[in-house]
């Protein structure tokens, strides 16, 4: 189950990856090759993989939502909430990419097997 923009979607979260991104104001080496830098901010980007839930309907709706312009901002931003083994993750993110895998197995009318969404953080998690 995932909640996006306040609406629940009956999909199975099969994988969550957290990517900590460090943005530096500057980073350069001096004559002794020591690194001199100033950290600007830390962002938590995420990659989430979904499978279908009880039906493919919510899976299709979620794909449609995440591959369209957002109602939250003028881009593709979304408020996302999921439960993971480390607790509830709530964040404002925008999809950087959405990949959907479709296969059809014999005797199965469900085509959707997996959707991977890479979310890029809108605001820093730490400064």
Task: Flag whether 127 is in a domain.
Answer: no
Q: What is the pLDDT of residues 55-97, one digit of tens each?
A: 678 888 888 888 887 776 667 788 888 887 778 888 788 888 8
pTM for this entry: 0.70
Q: What is the DSSP string of 36-62?
A: EEEEEEEEEEEEEEEEE-SSSHHHHHH
The answer to whether position 76 is within a domain reads yes
Kindly state whether residue 49 falls inside one of the protein's structural domains.
yes
Structure-block tokens of residue 38: 């100033």
Instruction: Give the tokens for residue 115.
Output: 């959707």
Instruction: Domain count for the chain, please give it.
Output: 1
- Judge whether 126 lies within some domain: no
Residue 45: give the domain boundaries: 2-121
Beta bridge partners of 2: 9, 82
Tell me, what's the pLDDT at 122?
Answer: 79
* 112 confidence band (pLDDT: 50, 70, 90): low
pLDDT tens for 30-59 read 999 999 999 999 988 889 888 877 767 888
CATH of the domain at 94: 2.40.30
- Pairwise CA distance, residues 108 & 31, whole Å: 65
Q: Residue 111 falls within a domain, yes or no? A: yes
């Amino acid at each position: 189950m995932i909640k996006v923009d306040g609406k629940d979607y009956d999909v199975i979260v099969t994988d969550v990856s957290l990517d900590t991104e460090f943005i530096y104001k500057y980073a350069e080496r001096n004559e002794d090759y020591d690194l001199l830098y100033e950290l600007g901010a830390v962002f938590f980007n995420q990659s989430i993989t979904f499978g279908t839930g009880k039906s493919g309907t919510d899976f299709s709706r979620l794909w449609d939502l995440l591959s369209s312009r957002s109602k939250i901002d003028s881009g593709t931003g979304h408020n996302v909430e999921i439960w993971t083994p480390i607790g509830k993750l709530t964040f404002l993110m925008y999809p950087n990419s959405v990949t959907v895998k479709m296969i059809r197995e014999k005797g199965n009318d469900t085509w959707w097997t997996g959707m991977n969404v890479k979310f890029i953080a809108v605001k820093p998690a730490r400064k």
